[in-house]
Structure 1
Amino acid sequence: MKFKPLMKPEGARVVLIGSAIALAFTGFGIFSYSIFRPNSQPSPAQIAAPQSEAIDAISALGRLEPEGGVIKVSAPSASISSGLGGSRIERVLVKEGAKVKANQPLAVLDSYQTLLASAMQAEAQVKEAEARLAQVQVGAKQGDINAQRATVLRAQAELPKAEAEFFKVDAEYQKAKRDYDRFAKLLSEGAVNELEVSNRKLTLDTTEKQRQQAALVVQQAKLELEGARQTLNSVAEVRPTDVQQAQAGVQVAMANFNRAKADLDKAIVRAPAEGQVLKIHTDPGEVVGNDGVLDLGRTNQMYVVAEVDENSINKVKAGQRAKITGFAFPGEMMGTVDRVGLQIRKNEVLNTDPVDKTDTRVVEVRIRLDNSEPVAGLTNLQVRVAIEP
């Protein structure tokens, strides 16, 4: 029996060529997959390193604050309050961001002018008492010339006293005028009633009359001084008791003057320490509220207040290094654990992760930054902290 091929030779060649091409594409696909496939299975070393870091480092959220925290500067507690209750600011002497020194004036209260006039009056009383002492110490003599010299001294002391009284009344008049103008404006805006404006107008008229009367007293004092210089009287004998009494008068006048200066200083808001003005809460004309006049901070040295979970706080000690990161500054910053808190409290810095716990018991850890300059203007910024073992 004669053997018959299943296909013609031409068909066999086509099948062989097609099979070879298919095998070539299959091999190239396997090679490409082995080269370009994603490395979804990391090496054991790659797995161990992050887990080791996660176990060793103590992570926490925190906030930035100046050294010593934010200082709320308020008005002196013993300052004279305005008629509407509370201390009212007349002038603010600094701007936000300004660097200030300790004891530098920051603001002036509206009671400053009145207290200044009182201090001037007390100073005039000191001069009057010193003049009286000088009169007694010189001693009384027969004749009109020496006696008249004492009269001149008294008249010289009365003149600055009258002038100081005028300055005091004038300051009260200026304050009454400002109050009246302010309430008149509030009346036009419907914020107050006409009775309140009438009361301020009555006060303004009263102080204006007092001001006119004080001006007349000053003029009279000038006339008396001129007349005393033209008159001579007899003198009397000096007694030790008179000298002691005059010396006591000088001491009393000096004490009153020192108290007036102290009251005047209370009308000035001063910086309690060197630092930077972070925020001004009270503008001129406003009453000082619970936030005080302004916020002050020692931004030359910034700290991170990290809230470490109570379960990890036993691993944190002073001197440990810490890494700080945040969205508001590039890269990372380094710092050193300065102090570990002694109180467990609820966390204040909340994570934005919705699956994270929002009510956590933590201990505050203060971290001193190595370089504060990049974040000196970022008080209260939320940061992430990793404390190294």
Structure 2
Amino acid sequence: MAHCQVQPGCEPPSLVEEGDSVETGQIIAVLQGFERRQRDLEEAQKTVEFYQARLDQLKAGSGGEAEVAAQEAAIARLEAQLRTEQLERAAAIASAEADLRQAQQDLTRDQDLAAAGAISQQALETSQQTVETATAMLDQRQAQLANTMQTLEQQISQEQNNLARLREVRPVDVRVAQAELDRALIAVEQRQADLEDTQVRVPVAGQILRINTRVGEQVNTQEGIVELGRTEQMYAIAEIYETDITRVQLGQPARITSEYGGFQDEIRGTVDHVGLQIGQRQLSEGSSNPTQDENTRVVEVKIRIDPTDSPKIASLTNMQVRVAIDVSSQ
């Protein structure tokens, strides 16, 4: 059984339901930020198209007004992007400033309450941490604005320089255009990788046993989004006393029955793996033997369920069973 893990702080809309069969690499959830990164990828692809067209023109010797117009369009696009980024980053900074002001007000209030003994020291420390977090977020937003402005202004300056050199097409211009195209292609690969990070794919084929994170819920970094099992081949885990483990060998037949009647009759399997470590028991004996010493030292043995019986228990993952191994065989 496997957990599909993602970065914390996301809210993934699930694309599967419990019981669904999935294939290796299948997308089961799309995380927040997918649309934005998809737009980033589309923009990077358009940039590649532009540099490819310019390189083709240079190689064909078709400079002149058309190329100048294309370069001017590129500058206009970057300037429009700069204005858009300024507005978006400014809005983010304003929001962060508002959050910081509110956190500072809350801290001042909690300090007064703490001095009066109305709230606990822990509550006051929480308010202090909130102010620190809000301050860090504001610093991050301001740094993002500065970095974005610097990057775009440098690109605009570079494109303006390119525009000034369009009067004469030289071999060096072709090489520069090729380098710009190569850089744009790398940017597409990076944006594609960023987009892939917002898509959760299953590592192996199997069945969705449980959905741990629903739409609108924050991802639990311990449990992940879903629990996935390869239920086409089921196994039973038996704990064998260390005094008996020398009698257990690979290939010995085994009979498995349900501890609490989860399935009828018995199913059969074969010893597939014998553990290499001795440890304390993890499974309880249940009500049938309440005096059993839970500290008994055991070895974990994996029983491969016969293919004809696996479908009978495909939906009973983690069920407690009793295992009887025929140690007289082999």
| TM-score greater than 0.5 by the shorter chain | yes
**Corresponding position: 1:314 with 2:246:** yes
Q: Is 1:241 aligned with 2:172?
A: yes
Listed as ranges, the matches of 1:279-294 within 5 Å are 279-289=210-220, 290-294=222-226
State how many pairs are aligned.
259
Aligned to 1:276: 207
In structure 1, distance between residues paired with 2:210 and 2:238: 23
Equivalent pair of 1:117/1:171 in contact (CA under 8 Å): no
1:216-255 paired onto structure 2 within 5 Å: 236-255=167-186
Alignment of 1:157-306 (within 5 A): 236-289=167-220, 290-306=222-238
Tell me by how many angstroms 1:169 deviates.
9.7
Structure 1 equivalent of residue 41 of structure 2? 119
Relative to the length of structure 2, the TM-score reads 0.69
Residue 356 of structure 1 pairs with residue 264 of structure 2: no
**Could you tell me which residue of structure 1 aligns to residue 113 of structure 2?**
none
Q: Deviations over 1:316-352 (max 9, x none)?
A: 1111000001121110100011111111111111012
SS at match of 1:300: coil
Question: What is the identity percentage for the equivalent residue pairs of Structure 1 and Structure 2?
Answer: 36
Residue type of the alignment partner of 2:219:
V
**Conserved in 2, the CA contact under 8 Å of 1:131 and 1:157?**
no
Query: Which residues of structure 1 form unaligned runs of 5+?
Result: 1-69, 78-85, 141-145, 177-192, 211-233
C-alpha deviation, 1:275, in angstroms = 0.5
Q: 1:308 to 1:115 in 2, by over 3 A?
A: same
In 2, Cα distance between the equivalents of 1:126 and 1:164?
16
Structure 2: how far apart are the matches of 1:116 and 1:165?
Answer: 19
In structure 1, the partner of 2:268 is 334
1:92-120 CA distance string (max 9 Å, x none): 11111111111111111112122112212
Label 1:254 to 1:316 Cα distance change in 2 as closer, same or farther (>3 A).
same
Instruction: Select 2:279's aligned residue among 318, 329, 345.
Output: 345
**What CA distance in whole angstroms lies between the structure 1 residues aligned with 2:42 and 2:82?**
8
Change beyond 3 A, Cα 1:279–1:242: same
- Aligned-pair distance for 1:242? 1.1
Q: Report the CA distance shift for 1:172/1:368 in structure 2 as closer, same or farther (over 3 A).
A: farther
Alignment equivalent of 1:372, drawn from 301, 304, 310 = 310
Taking the aligned partners of 1:345 and 1:380, their CA distance within structure 2 comes to 20
Q: Deviations over 1:245-303 (max 9, x none)?
A: 11011001100110011011000111111011111111122221111111000011100
Equivalent in the alignment of 1:97: 19
Alpha-carbon distance in 1 for matches of 2:240, 2:87: 60
Contact 2:251 2:272 in 1 (8 A): yes
Match of 2:151 in 1: none
1:73 Cα deviation (Å)? 0.6
8 Å CA contact retained: 2:280, 2:294? no
Q: Which amino acid aligns with 1:276?
A: Q
Does the CA-based 8 Å contact 1:124-1:160 persist in structure 2?
no
Distance (whole Å) between structure 1 residues aligned to residue 225 and residue 42 of structure 2: 28
Distance in 2 between residues matched to 1:161 and 1:295, nearest whole Å: 45
Query: Which protein is bigger by CA-based radius of gyration?
Result: 1
TM-score (norm 1): 0.59
Tell whether the 8 Å contact from 1:339 to 1:367 is kept in structure 2 after alignment: yes
CA distance in structure 2 between the partners assigned to 1:87 and 1:124 by the alignment: 31
Q: Which amino acid aligns with 2:290?
A: P
Structure 1 residues 96 and 386, CA gap change in structure 2 (3 angstroms): same
Alignment check: 8 A CA contact 1:73 1:295 kept: yes
Extract unaligned runs of 5+ from structure 2.
94-126, 146-164
Cα drift, residue 72 of structure 1? 0.8
Distance 1:159 1:311, change over 3 A: farther
Output aligned runs, 1:53-72, within 5 Å.
Answer: 70-72=1-3
Runs of 4+ in structure 1 over 4 Å off? 155-173
Taking the aligned partners of 2:2 and 2:211, their CA distance within structure 1 comes to 12
d(CA) in 2 for partners of 1:372, 1:160: 60
Q: Please give the alpha-carbon distance, in whole angstroms, between the structure 2 residues aligned to 1:166 and 1:285.
A: 32
Q: Distance in 1 between matches of 2:16 and 2:46?
A: 33
